[in-house]
């Protein structure tokens, strides 16, 4: 182990650095960059940047095994700082630093014009444009790490623009003279082994990154045939290139996708083991470990493709699943369906079933978990085609209708939950009312919906038709029924739990809701649907007994409640799937 400085590490004129394929991509975000800048502002004359692990390579190149986040950040720092100092010189400010030295040490070899520091292959062209050449590129980042590269440079640019030349030169000297320690190994196998050992024991790596380094190590240790090893490594590199390009597109945490995939393929479903240990255990049981690794990584790549496809699918029931915001339940099934290469017809049938069961599970909540029931299907590795997937949907529907263990999500249970007098602020209250609106629209909004949940709900709140606090505390005088009936409590709007039931709830714009507040019912009724496309507002008059002297009482609420309940049974009819 050797102690030196960043300047000595870069060795002035001829040393180069590269990030190998099994290293993590650049992941520093705002928190880390702000801390880096604050450390510089608070440092006096000494700065320590930690330990680095390298593998020696040809042409005086060091492959970065551990420390690439810090070293990449240093190069971005030097590039941004040089750019800012050039701007200051152009404005006539005195700069004592030799800016060509910054380029020659940390950015490009002036004599050869070659890049001093290369990031991972799939990010390097972007890194050259953004950091090495400082182009004002309109190119959109293709990976999450490219986003981090652009954002980190932007943060340095903004911080440097506010600093004096003296401060910039002080920070430059602090970083280039920062103390580090380094350890250099001579073989890929040794490098991969040390990296896997260090980063499998508490360092802040994603599970996907840990598995990537672990798989690389297994490949290096598995064969003395260098050509075959290189071929297998290249296969993994290509799959991970696709994975990282998809990560930024799907806006999904990589470890979440990994978990969805593991649940789909592990044979243990939602109850699958902790994934790192689970994968290692499964791999140890394989006769051909390398082929299993390649299949597994290819499967992960396919899972990212599935997430991307699902997120961009316009089919109404898939969009509905996103509105329900519980995709962890659905993604493993979509991954399983894609692995079975099912037709669009079966894929859509699966989506419709998943929307149905997700709604039933969310409206219920509680301790009984639907996942333990769905595991019966998710664990089945014989789901390999249209028929087996479709048969599994039939099996689940049948069990919901006939099996007491699935009875928590039956039609009777769904009716009971809708009948609850405390439906308000249930997790799916506005979703149910939106689906009811689509039900009322019928032919006016054929599937897929012309009016999406987001479009309709974005500015909507839930209105209590009979207000929670009636005007002046006198509901009868203001067109509402009796709130508290002491003799027959169930006949009172509040005492009978009708106030917060779905029959008394309605979608309404926030501004509209604020304007009518708890005004008399006749005033509210006149405003419903006046300048609004919502049929559920316009139909309120239909539930009033006396149209000339409208009163919103328990009977009106109950009539509307029963209509909505019947609509719910039709909207989420399992026999229509």
Q: What is the pLDDT of residue 104?
A: 87
544 neighbors 471 (Cβ within 8 angstroms): no
Of 143, 169, 186, the domain-final residue: 186
Residues 487 and 555 reside in one and the same domain? yes
Q: What is the pLDDT of residue 78?
A: 96
- Could you say which residues of the chain have pLDDT below 50? 200-203, 445-449
- In tens, the pLDDT along 471-515 reads 766 777 788 999 998 899 999 999 999 999 999 999 888 888 888
Q: What is the pLDDT of residue 197?
A: 63
Q: What is the pLDDT of residue 84?
A: 95
* β-bridge partners, 285: none
- In tens, the pLDDT along 320-348 reads 999 999 999 999 999 999 999 999 999 99
Of 152, 186, 220, the domain-final residue: 186
Phi, psi of 101 (to 5 degrees): -65, -40
Q: What is the pLDDT of residue 446?
A: 46
54 neighbors 16 (Cβ within 8 angstroms): no
Residues 398 and 459 reside in one and the same domain? no
Residues 127 and 210 reside in one and the same domain? no
Question: What are the strands of the beta sheet with 2-5, ordered from one edge?
Answer: 2-5, 179-185, 48-56, 61-66, 16-18, 117-118
Residue 27 lies in a domain: yes
Q: How distant, in Å, are the alpha carbons of 23, 258, 259 from that of 206?
A: 12, 10, 12
Residues 388 and 486 reside in one and the same domain? no
Q: Provide the H-helix boundaries in 162-270.
A: 165-176, 188-199, 207-222, 226-250, 254-265
Q: What is the pLDDT of residue 161?
A: 95
Of the candidates 558, 545, 560, 553, which has an alpha carbon nearest to the alpha carbon of residue 482? 553
Residues 177 and 293 reside in one and the same domain? no
**pTM score, whole prediction:** 0.81
Residue 412 lies in a domain: no
Q: How distant, in Å, are the alpha carbons of 399, 414, 423, 461 from that of 420?
A: 24, 10, 6, 20
Q: What is the pLDDT of residue 47?
A: 84
Q: What is the pLDDT of residue 119?
A: 94
Residues 203 and 174 reside in one and the same domain? no
**Angle between the 207-222 and 275-284 helix axes, to the nearest 10 degrees?**
20
Structurally, how many domains does the chain consist of? 3
How far is Cα 125 from Cα 20, in angstroms, rounded to an integer? 15
- In tens, the pLDDT along 222-261 reads 877 888 888 888 888 888 888 877 776 777 888 999 999 9
- In tens, the pLDDT along 37-70 reads 999 988 877 788 888 989 888 778 899 988 999 9
Q: What is the pLDDT of residue 91?
A: 92
Cα angle 351, 353, 355 (rounded to 5 degrees) comes to: 70
Residues 175 and 242 reside in one and the same domain? no
Residues 173 and 200 reside in one and the same domain? no
For 156, the token pair is 């340095």
How far is Cα 149 from Cα 549, in angstroms, rounded to an integer? 67
How far is Cα 253 from Cα 250, in angstroms, rounded to an integer? 9
Domain hosting residue 510, numbered range: 418-576
Q: What is the pLDDT of residue 473?
A: 66
């Amino acid at each position: 182990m050797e102690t030196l400085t960043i300047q000595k590490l870069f060795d002035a004129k001829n040393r180069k650095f590269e990030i190998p394929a099994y290293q993590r991509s650049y992941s520093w975000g705002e928190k880390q960059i702000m801390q880096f800048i604050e450390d510089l502002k608070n440092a006096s004359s000494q700065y320590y940047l930690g330990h680095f692990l390298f593998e020696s390579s040809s042409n005086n190149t060091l492959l970065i095994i551990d420390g690439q986040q810090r070293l990449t950040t240093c190069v971005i720092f030097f590039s941004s700082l040089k750019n800012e100092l050039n701007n200051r010189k152009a404005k006539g400010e005195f700069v004592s630093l030799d800016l060509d030295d910054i380029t020659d040490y940390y950015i490009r070899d002036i004599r050869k014009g070659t890049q001093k520091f290369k990031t991972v292959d799939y990010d390097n062209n972007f890194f050259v444009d953004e950091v090495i050449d400082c182009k004002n590129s309109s190119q959109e980042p293709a990976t999450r790490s490219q986003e981090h590269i652009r954002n980190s440079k932007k943060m340095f640019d903004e911080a440097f623009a506010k600093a004096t030349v003296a401060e910039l030169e002080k920070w430059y000297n602090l970083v280039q003279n920062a103390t580090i320690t380094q350890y250099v190994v001579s073989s890929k196998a040794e490098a991969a082994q040390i990296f896997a050992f260090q980063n499998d024991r508490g360092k802040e790596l994603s599970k996907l990154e840990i598995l990537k380094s672990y798989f690389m190590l297994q490949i290096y240790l598995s064969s003395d045939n260098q050509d075959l090893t290189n071929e297998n490594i290249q296969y993994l590199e290509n799959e991970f290139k696709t994975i990282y390009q998809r990560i930024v597109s799907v806006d999904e945490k990589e470890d979440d996708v990994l978990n969805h995939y593991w649940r789909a393929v592990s044979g243990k479903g939602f109850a699958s083991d902790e994934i790192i240990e689970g994968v290692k255990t499964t791999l140890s049981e394989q006769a051909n470990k390398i082929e299993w690794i390649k299949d597994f990584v290819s499967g992960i790549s396919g899972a990212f493709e599935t997430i991307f496809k699902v997120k961009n699918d316009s089919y109404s029931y898939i969009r509905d699943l996103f509105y329900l915001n519980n995709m962890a339940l659905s993604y493993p099934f979509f991954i399983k369906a894609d692995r079975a290469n099912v037709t669009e017809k079966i894929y859509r049938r699966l989506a419709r079933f998943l929307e149905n069961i997700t709604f039933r599970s969310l409206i219920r909540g509680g301790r009984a978990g639907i996942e333990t029931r769905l595991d019966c299907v998710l664990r089945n590795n014989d789901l390999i085609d249209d028929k087996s997937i479709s048969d599994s949907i039939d099996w689940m529907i049948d069990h919901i209708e006939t099996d007491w263990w699935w009875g928590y999500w039956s039609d009777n249970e769904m009716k009971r939950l809708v009948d609850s007098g405390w439906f308000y602020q249930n997790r799916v209250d506005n979703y149910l009312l939106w689906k009811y609106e689509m039900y009322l629209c019928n032919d006016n909004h054929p599937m897929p919906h012309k009016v999406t949940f987001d479009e309709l709900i974005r500015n909507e709140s839930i209105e209590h038709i009979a207000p929670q606090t009636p005007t002046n505390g006198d509901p009868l005088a203001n067109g509402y029924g009796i709130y508290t009936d002491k003799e027959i409590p169930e006949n009172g709007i509040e005492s009978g739990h009708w106030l917060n039931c779905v029959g008394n709830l309605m979608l309404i714009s926030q501004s509209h809701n604020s304007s009518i507040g708890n005004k008399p019912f006749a005033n509210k009724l006149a405003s419903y649907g006046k300048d609004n496309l919502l049929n559920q507002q316009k139909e309120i008059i239909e539930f009033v007994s006396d149209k000339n002297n409208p009163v919103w009482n328990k009977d009106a609420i109950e009539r509307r409640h029963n209509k909505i309940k019947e609509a719910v049974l039709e909207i989420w009819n399992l026999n229509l799937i």
